Amino acid sequence: MADIQISFTTSLEFSVPSELHPKSCDYSQTSNMAQIDSSSWKAYGKIDPELEALIPHMPPSKGLGDYEDVPSLRVGIMEQIGQLIAAGIFPLPDLSGIHKEEIQIPVRDGSSIRGLLYYAEDRPAGETGPVLVYFHGGGWVFGPPEAFEGNLQLAAKELGLVVISVDYRLAPEHPFPTPAHDAWDSVQWIAANAGKFGGDPTKGFIVSGESAGGNLAAIVAHEAADADLSPPITGALLNVPSVVHPEAVPEELKPHYNSYEEFKDALVLPRKALDFLFGNYKPNPQDPRFSVLNWPSGHKKQPPTYVQVCGMDPLRDEGLIYEQTLKQLGVPTQLKVWQGLPHAAPSFFPMLSASKTVPEETKDELKWLLAQKS
Starting at the earlier edge strand, list the strands of the sheet with 162-167. 98-106, 112-120, 162-167, 131-135, 205-210, 235-239, 305-310, 333-338
Q: Please state, in angstroms and rounded to a whole number, the distance separating the CA atoms of residues 196 and 162.
A: 11
Nearest to 250 by CA among 321, 177, 146: 321
Question: Looking at this protein, which amino acid is placed at residue 355?
Answer: S
Q: Please state, in angstroms and rounded to a whole number, the distance separating the CA atoms of residues 234 and 226.
A: 14
Q: Apex CA 58: angle with CA 43 and CA 279, to 5°?
A: 70
Nearest to 125 by CA among 93, 106, 99, 144: 99
Q: Please state, in angstroms and rounded to a whole number, the distance separating the CA atoms of residues 233 and 37.
A: 29
Q: Collapsing DSSP states into helix, strand and coil, what is residue 193?
A: helix
Taking phi over 0 as left and psi of -120 to 50 as alpha, with beta for the rest, 371 belongs to alpha
Sign of CA dihedral 109, 113, 119, 121: positive
Per-residue pLDDT of the chain (374 residues; tens, 9 = 90+): 333 333 333 333 333 344 454 444 544 444 444 489 999 999 999 999 999 999 999 888 899 999 999 999 999 999 988 988 898 888 888 999 999 999 999 999 999 999 999 999 999 989 999 999 999 999 999 999 998 898 899 899 999 999 999 999 999 999 999 999 999 999 999 999 999 999 999 999 999 999 999 999 999 999 999 999 999 999 999 999 999 999 999 999 999 999 999 999 999 999 999 999 999 999 999 999 999 999 999 999 999 999 999 999 999 999 999 999 999 999 999 999 999 999 999 999 999 999 999 999 999 999 999 999 75
Domain boundaries 27-373, CATH class: alpha beta
According to DSSP, the residues that pair with 305 across neighbouring strands are 236, 333
Sign of CA dihedral 235, 232, 189, 110: negative
Instruction: Give me Rg for the CA atoms of the chain.
Output: 20
Question: Looking at this protein, which amino acid is placed at residue 45?
Answer: G
Q: Tell me how far apart the 2 most distant CA atoms of the chain are, in Å.
A: 57
**End-to-end alpha-carbon separation of the chain, Å?**
31
Rounded to the nearest 10°, the torsion over CA 311, 246, 251, 19 is -120
